[in-house]
Amino acid sequence: MAIQWFPGHMHLTRKAIQERIKEIDVVIELLDSRLPGSSANPMLAELTAGKPALKVLNKQDLADPERTALWLAHYNAMPGVRALPLDASMTTPAKALVAACHELAPNRGGMAKPMRVLICGIPNVGKSTLINTLKGKRAAKTGDEAGVTKIEQRITIADDFYLYDTPGVLWPRIIVAKSGYNLAASGAIGKNAFDEEEVALELLDYLRQHYPATLEARYKLTGVAGQTDEQLLDAIGRKRGALQSGGRINLNKAAEIVIHDFRSAVLGRITLETPEQFAQWLAEGKQI
Ligand code: G4P
168-177 pLDDT per residue, tens: 889 898 889 9
Average pLDDT value for the chain:
90
pLDDT tens digits, 49-90: 999 999 999 999 999 999 999 999 999 999 999 999 999 998
Q: What is the pLDDT of residue 85?
A: 97
| Ligand 1: centre distance to CA 107 (Å) | 34
Q: In ligand 1, which atom is closest to the CA atom of 121?
A: 3
- DSSP assigned state of 143: -
Pairing status of strand 53-58 against strand 154-158: unpaired
* CA–centroid distance, residue 262 to ligand 1 (Å): 15
Interface predicted TM-score (ipTM) of this complex, two decimals: 0.96
- Go through the domains of the chain in sequence order and give each one's CATH number: 11-165 (3.40.50.300), 195-284 (1.10.1580.10)
What are the phi and psi torsion angles at 282 (to 5°)?
A: -65, -40
**For range 102-108, the mean pLDDT:** 96
* CA-proximal residue: ligand 1, atom 31 (nearest): 144
Q: Quick one: pLDDT band at residue 286, thresholds 50, 70, 90?
A: low
Q: Taking the complete model, does pTM exceed 0.80, yes or no?
A: yes
Point out which residues pair with 249 in neighbouring strands: 243
237 lines ligand 1 (CB under 6 A): no
CA angle 179, 184, 188 (to 5 degrees): 95
List of E strands, 166-243: none
